[in-house]
Structure 1
Amino acid sequence: ATPRQQSLLQSLQHLGSEVTLADFLNKTQTTRATVQRLQANGWLAVHQREVLRGQESALPPDQPKLLTPDQAQALGQIQALSAGETLLLWGVTGSGKTEVYLQAIQPLLTAGKSALVLVPEIGLTPQLTERFQRRFPGQVWVYHSALSQGERYDCWRQMLTGGPQVVIGTRSAVFVPLPKLGLIILDEEHDASYKQDRPAPSYHARTVAQWRSVAESCPLVLGSATPDLESYQAATDGTYTLAQLPVRVGGAGLPTVMLVDLREELAEGNYSPLSRTLQREIQQMMERKEQGILFLNRRGFHTFILCRGCGEVLTCPNCTVSLTYHLSDRFLRCHHCHYRRPEPEQTCPQCGSTHYKFFGTGTQRIETAVQERFPGLRVARFDRDTTQRKGSHREILDQFGRGETDLLIGTQMLTKGLDLPRVTLVGILAADSLLNMPDFRCTERAFQLLTQVAGRGGRGDQPGRVILQTYNPTHAVVEAARTHDFLQFAEPELIARRAQGFPPFGRLVRLGWQGPVEELVLIAAQTVARYLQEHEQEILGPAPALIPKVRLAYRWQLLWKLPLMAEPQHLLQALMKIDNSIFCHVDIDPIQAW
């Protein structure tokens, strides 16, 4: 062999007994022709092996951790479940629910069975997947809507082999063809992302998971720090089994929550979206070289633009919503139909006035405000605008995990179970935007979001601090979130819902109509409303939808209230046909305003 060939063979030995051809060519800076000559001389062998897309490179192995008494008890309760039974794992943020999941799955894989783990957001899958891959190398697959067709095809092929495996996925993964299913887990079970409402058909992944657990004769585990009130009620009345993790792993306390009254900030001349208390805490966080997150439930730079000459607000021509200004490309965007237009010229298109004013605050504006106030701070955004590119969720979180970013600014995506152990400061910038929606579930959703985002702090060795900014510090939801007290919120809320016959003590069906002519849409809604009233059904409405026009279609709706055990299918089938230009949307057990 020539010296060059001997050097290549020595490099191959250092790279291991096997290496992919692409890696060998890249690391040795050689050519395929040279490899073919070595093969012809019998000094190495080249053979083909199928590697399915989605298989990850080797990660350092992870060993099972010693469980706390609460975790051990919860694990025992899961293992004692019978086929088709459901358990609610109610554990505070940072209480080690994932470790319980891992140790519940381990014996199933050993026995040749598989597990399905559902998460509410794609952004959660990289972090959770890595944790599972370390524990179960070569047995973990991911399934969600951002996969390419090839990746999805390979994932299905692997599932159909029938071997023991774990599939981690979002809402649609509840339908994957995973044989020998031994356990289904719904993490963050309270999250509204599990509900598919548009396009039809409407379904809730939790409901489908319950049906599937019965069909597959396997148990279902629902996990959350802030359970859905319907799940909590089912656990307290004995329909579900209840397991609790009331304290954080390692004895760490929940973060301290400090309320900031924004009325006082305004009265004392602070017009910044960052209160003086929050600015002080960010400065101290920088000095201690710690990390923090800021939560604001609205993306963009400004939420609307108003002409102070005539009062005109720039709105979407297709939807009855204001356009949101995005500084990155200086465009106004509609977040419903994706209409966009450049920022306005010098004059108002309505009256010709030059007195435009930008109102409202989005994550882009917060990012700019923070960078101006703290020029040395490394800031990143984590919202729909910054995570559209494939792999961007993992990239942003990995950079934050490596300490390359000091402050993460984001929307609801930050609240969904992320484990960020170096975060000591959490800022909640506008709690009031969560509390004033025309939806009976808005207070529940607000408590869940506030508690979940507060729970991102103090998960490591250092204690956490949460700055909650609000114009209404005495609101019952804000007070319950301040003390991390789920029961303080849940008990009076359940009493109110029982009195009104709302879920979990009754059922709702939302009927929505939309079409290009508002008069015909209204006639259709009124016709069906009369029909239901003639059949002695209790209804609310009809009324305009929360957003009365979307994509040039006018929208009206009504809520149909039913007893808890009622099945509405027979009346739905009997509803009379309406004008073909009117689309009727039926959502049984809706969870968000339409």
Structure 2
Amino acid sequence: MFAEVIIPLALPRNYTWKIPDKMLDSLQVGCRVEVNLGKNKRYAGVIKRIHSDEPSSFEAKEIINLLDPEPVIQRYQLQFWEWMAEYYMCSEGEVMAAALPSHFKLSSETILIYNEEFGDDFSALDNEEYLVAEALLLKHELKLSEVQQILDVTHVYPIVNRLIGKKLCFVWESLKQTFNSKKESFVLLEHEFDNEDRLSELLNNWGRAPKQMELLLAYLHLMKTQGEVTKTELLKKSSASDAQLKGLVEKGVLRIEKRSVDRLHFAPKDIFVDFDLTASQQEAFQKVQLCFDSRKVCLLHGITSSGKTHVYIKLIEQFIRKGQQVLYMLPEITLTSQIIRRLQKHFGGYIGIYHSKFSQNERVEIWNKVKSGELKIVLGARSSLFLPYHDLGLIICDEEHDSSYKQQDPAPRYHGRDAAIFMASLLQSKVLLGSATPSLETYYNAKQDKYGLVTLSERFGDVKLPAMEIVDTRTIAKKPGEKIMLSPQLLDEIKATAAKGKQTILFQNRRGYAPYQVCTVCGWIAECRNCDVSLTYHKFSNKLKCHYCGSIYPITATCQACGSDKLVQRSFGTEKIEEVLTTELEGVKIGRMDIDTVRNKNAHDILIQQFEQKKIDVLVGTQMVVKGLDFDNVDLVGILDADALVHFADFRVNERAFQLMEQVSGRAGRRDSAGRVLIQTINPKHPVLLHVLQHDYVGMYNEEIEKRRQFFYPPFSRIIQVQFRHKERDVVTDAAHVFARSIEVPYGKYLVGPAEPVVNRVRNMFLMELLIKLPRDSQLIARCKRDILNGCNQLHSEARFKKVVIVPDVDAI
């Protein structure tokens, strides 16, 4: 018997291994096994299929070990991985690498084994070799990480190679499980004092050591109120030391026991939905239920602050009372902290969170709790689709229009919303898509009756939509080439809002201090050495940074072209706005939310809570402030540079600009006042701005959908973008044209390009792009994908193009 095994490598097809006789009865589909590939590399793979078809072109190696007694991956997950690999043109190994927590993807770890025949004469070794040899003589085995610690250097490979060459040691490749359960020390009373009389006698006859007495009384109090006591908690409450606790243990009064505990502390499991829906919310709730009777997918198009979350909570309650699980997807982890507090209030410990900021050990624990059905609600980003659901009844895809649902790099380049809809079809689950500004594709599908459509057009509490106002910055006096950052009108409004005790949100979709530095003499602009983009000045760190590759450069005081010292900063980012506001608004507390200020695990949550608690008066931010956050006290929203949103080379530019401006405007006036929105622009007659002023999503949709139909863009076509990357411009240009010619006969009328993108060099790789716009014909699309992959193989068969990286991106955005 043989097993088809998925390993976390980009292999075009899955490899097959032979099943040893001793494992025949214990191997199951979905279990992990240890396998050998190549000379000595070992991997943990997942069994996809067990069969009797012996490979004809190679001799199958035997599986080395079975790693799980029970499957860790369910059959529907393997089907989901297979679909994702096929649809998004990648390998199942790449999907596996994205899907599993690191602890399930065992890596091959090099171990050095001491060669006993070498003896103990180290006189011929240099100092570094001697240190490693001595350690090997004592321990017999060393991991490379231990060698690094011994030598206090990271580059140990040359030293290790010399020792192997001198036959002092040899290499053994082993697989190591990296997940360990968390251990906690619990304090318990010794059994003889379980008897109340013995305990009273002990306390009444206590002699010296008053601190130990205080410690014991603190323990008894905690035991009575909490039921169990951890060592950390006890020492904190009693202000005692380790030595005092150790004294009680030595006297035989207390004992310490190590136990495995959850890394994630959950509230008690309880359902407590303590609100009633408004008339319009109740109507929407009932319509969604009716839609689910006949369709798998429903779109809830609710304007900002209409209370979509209330409808979600009522639906979640309905599904978990039936014993089913619910996945609540959000595009950004910055949104999870506010939503989780709301959901925990209603569902307590039924909820788990899953996203990239969690440690690998925490992810494994969530994985196991979802698989067992212990967790009923999962709140997470797109990666939460890969969890092993026990009985998934509903997927809520909130802010479904958001481009963050699309994975860019590495493969699989999947769209969370579309993948959720397919996965729901495997599990017979329902999908609710929610947005105030749905993507054109989703709204089109709803209008074509493919999805159900429910509209929620009233704001919660009958609050009116915010009043929108255009500030024409052309009319404001300024120096030549200067860009208006904060108009006098906007500054006055911020001051007036703060004076009323209300809050302001300012949206600028650029982080840093200044997007570029320019020489006023010759026009030279500081650019990244690795990418074809200007460097952004960050004042706090006093560095120039590339926002594409992350490279950091020192500040330059002179022009690299003409030597002039007349360098000026142009345009503005969130950091500069924060500085100007701090100067202009005395006594007003300013906060900033961008990727630079919310890098660690809890930073975004702390910032949101500070704003909720009114410790911040003005919050300046990038797209992070746009996405679904709900603040009661915001009265004013300022969009500082609308022109940067509408002037962009992309067929979705108008749709995206409308979504961003409408979403950020929706943060204003969510409770007791309508609020105001000021939009700064030099083009007040732009059609998108006219729709934004009227909060007219349908008008924007009707205008854009006609343009899409006219120019054959989605939803009327399916897009596959093929990107070519190479360190030489001539090579990548020729490769793109050779590839385009190879598929020109069958797909010539669907090709756009190849051409250089706007940013044509990133991380020292030159880029070319080819766009294929295909009719919505599943057979034609499948054939085209096969031809693209064949074209890639043909191109790589030519020596000149062997190192050209080809990246197909299905449904590129």
Q: Is the 8 A contact 2:735 2:795 kept in 1?
A: no
Matched, 1:390 2:601: yes
Counterpart in the other structure of 1:410: 621
How far has the Cα of 1:58 moved from its partner? Answer: 7.1
Does the C-alpha gap of structure 1 residues 589 and 13 become closer, same or farther in structure 2, counting only changes over 3 Å?
A: closer
Which deviates the most, 163-172 or 435-444? 163-172
Does the C-alpha gap of structure 1 residues 9 and 150 become closer, same or farther in structure 2, counting only changes over 3 Å?
A: closer
How far has the Cα of 1:41 moved from its partner? Answer: 9.3
Does the C-alpha gap of structure 1 residues 284 and 60 become closer, same or farther in structure 2, counting only changes over 3 Å?
A: farther
Does the C-alpha gap of structure 1 residues 195 and 535 become closer, same or farther in structure 2, counting only changes over 3 Å?
A: same
Matched, 1:584 2:790: no
Counterpart in the other structure of 1:265: 476
Residue type matched to 2:412 in 1?
P
Give secondary structure in 1 for the equivalent of 2:678.
strand
Which deviates the most, 276-285 or 13-22? 13-22
Partners of 1:382 and 1:486 in 2: how far apart? 27
What does 1:213-362 correspond to in 2, within 5 Å? 213-266=424-477, 272-345=484-557, 347-362=558-573
Partners of 2:473 and 2:400 in 1: how far apart? 32
Matched, 1:544 2:756: yes
Higher alpha-carbon Rg: 2
Identify the match of residue 488 of structure 1 among 687, 694, 699.
699
Give secondary structure in 1 for the equivalent of 2:240.
coil
Q: CA offsets per residue over residues 377-404 of structure 1, 9 Å max, x none?
A: 1011100110112210101111111111
Does the C-alpha gap of structure 1 residues 319 and 144 become closer, same or farther in structure 2, counting only changes over 3 Å?
A: same
Partners of 1:276 and 1:440 in 2: how far apart? 34
Which deviates the most, 295-304 or 7-16? 7-16
Counterpart in the other structure of 1:90: 301
Give secondary structure in 2 for the equivalent of 1:547.
coil
Which deviates the most, 559-568 or 167-176? 559-568
Give secondary structure in 2 for the equivalent of 1:540.
strand
Q: Is the 8 A contact 1:83 1:219 kept in 2?
A: no
Counterpart in the other structure of 1:23: 233
Partners of 1:478 and 1:20 in 2: how far apart? 59
Q: Is the 8 A contact 1:84 1:214 kept in 2?
A: no
Identify the match of residue 12 of structure 1 among 199, 205, 222.
222
Q: Is the 8 A contact 2:223 2:229 kept in 1?
A: no
Partners of 1:385 and 1:227 in 2: how far apart? 29
Partners of 1:259 and 1:58 in 2: how far apart? 50
How far has the Cα of 1:15 moved from its partner? Answer: 4.5
Matched, 1:571 2:795: no
Unmatched tracts of structure 1, length 5 or more: none
Identify the match of residue 103 of structure 1 among 300, 314, 317.
314
Residue type matched to 2:469 in 1?
M
Unmatched tracts of structure 2, length 5 or more: 1-202
Partners of 1:542 and 1:319 in 2: how far apart? 20
How far has the Cα of 1:565 moved from its partner? Answer: 2.5
Does the C-alpha gap of structure 1 residues 237 and 396 become closer, same or farther in structure 2, counting only changes over 3 Å?
A: same
Does the C-alpha gap of structure 1 residues 40 and 95 become closer, same or farther in structure 2, counting only changes over 3 Å?
A: farther
Does the C-alpha gap of structure 1 residues 271 and 416 become closer, same or farther in structure 2, counting only changes over 3 Å?
A: closer
Which deviates the most, 292-301 or 569-578? 569-578
Counterpart in the other structure of 1:136: 347
Partners of 2:419 and 2:809 in 1: how far apart? 15
Partners of 1:112 and 1:168 in 2: how far apart? 17
Partners of 2:511 and 2:270 in 1: how far apart? 37
Partners of 1:106 and 1:253 in 2: how far apart? 29
Counterpart in the other structure of 1:72: 282
Q: CA offsets per residue over residues 169-209 of structure 1, 9 Å max, x none?
A: 11111111121001111100000000012212211111110
Q: CA offsets per residue over residues 90-134 of structure 1, 9 Å max, x none?
A: 101111111111111112222221111110111011111111111
Q: Is the 8 A contact 1:142 1:167 kept in 2?
A: yes
Partners of 1:466 and 1:164 in 2: how far apart? 41
Q: Is the 8 A contact 1:301 1:365 kept in 2?
A: yes
How far has the Cα of 1:34 moved from its partner? Answer: 5.4
How far has the Cα of 1:282 moved from its partner? Answer: 0.6
Partners of 1:404 and 1:456 in 2: how far apart? 18
How far has the Cα of 1:341 moved from its partner? Answer: 0.9
How far has the Cα of 1:277 moved from its partner? Answer: 1.3
Matched, 1:497 2:708: yes
Q: Is the 8 A contact 2:331 2:399 kept in 1?
A: yes
Q: Is the 8 A contact 1:70 1:244 kept in 2?
A: no
Q: CA offsets per residue over residues 440-498 of structure 1, 9 Å max, x none?
A: 00111000000000001111223311111111111111111112110111101101111
How far has the Cα of 1:510 moved from its partner? Answer: 0.7
What does 1:197-212 correspond to in 2, within 5 Å? 197-212=408-423
What does 1:396-545 correspond to in 2, within 5 Å? 396-537=607-748, 538-545=750-757
Partners of 1:58 and 1:162 in 2: how far apart? 16
Does the C-alpha gap of structure 1 residues 18 and 116 become closer, same or farther in structure 2, counting only changes over 3 Å?
A: same
Give secondary structure in 2 for the equivalent of 1:203.
coil
Partners of 1:43 and 1:73 in 2: how far apart? 64
Partners of 1:336 and 1:130 in 2: how far apart? 34
Q: Is the 8 A contact 1:544 1:556 kept in 2?
A: yes
Which deviates the most, 82-91 or 16-25? 16-25
Count of matched residue pairs: 590
The alignment's C-alpha RMSD in Å is 2.4
Give secondary structure in 1 for the equivalent of 2:743.
helix
Partners of 1:520 and 1:268 in 2: how far apart? 45
Residue type matched to 1:395 in 2?
I
Give secondary structure in 1 for the equivalent of 2:767.
strand
Give secondary structure in 1 for the equivalent of 2:568.
strand
Residue type matched to 2:788 in 1?
L
Q: Is the 8 A contact 2:470 2:679 kept in 1?
A: yes
Give secondary structure in 2 for the equivalent of 1:305.
strand
Which deviates the most, 426-435 or 161-170? 161-170
Partners of 1:32 and 1:110 in 2: how far apart? 47
Residue type matched to 1:288 in 2?
K
Residue type matched to 1:312 in 2?
W
Matched, 1:121 2:337: no
Q: CA offsets per residue over residues 511-532 of structure 1, 9 Å max, x none?
A: 1101011111111111122223
Which deviates the most, 62-71 or 144-153? 62-71
Q: CA offsets per residue over residues 529-551 of structure 1, 9 Å max, x none?
A: 22232224321111101210001
Counterpart in the other structure of 2:577: 366
Does the C-alpha gap of structure 1 residues 495 and 7 become closer, same or farther in structure 2, counting only changes over 3 Å?
A: same
Give % identity: 37
How far has the Cα of 1:271 moved from its partner? Answer: 6.3
Give secondary structure in 2 for the equivalent of 1:505.
coil
